[in-house]
Amino acid sequence: MVENQKKIEEQQRKMAEERLAMIEEQMKFEQEKQKMKKREEKRAKEEQKKILGKGNARPKLSFSLQQTAS
C-alpha cells in the first residue's frame, strides 16, 4: 500500500513538473510574440513618420510663386 502511494506521488510530481515546463514554454513564446509585436509597431511608427515628414525624415520642400508678365 505504501509502495502504491509512493508511485502515485511520483507520478503526480512528474505531471506537475511537465505542466510547469509547458507553462514556462508558453511564457517564453508569449514574451517573444510581444517582442515581435513591439518591433512591428515601432517599424510602422517609423514608416508613418517618414510618410508624414516628421522627425527630419525627409527634407523640407521650398518653393516660391513668382508673377509672370503676361
pTM above 0.75, yes or no: no
Can you tell me the distance from the alpha carbon of 52 to that of 60, in angstroms, rounded to the nearest whole number? 11
Residues 5-64 have pLDDT tens digits of: 999 999 999 999 999 999 999 999 999 999 999 999 999 998 888 888 776 655 667 777
Given this model, what pLDDT does residue 49 score?
83
Can you tell me the distance from the alpha carbon of 24 to that of 62, in angstroms, rounded to the nearest whole number? 57
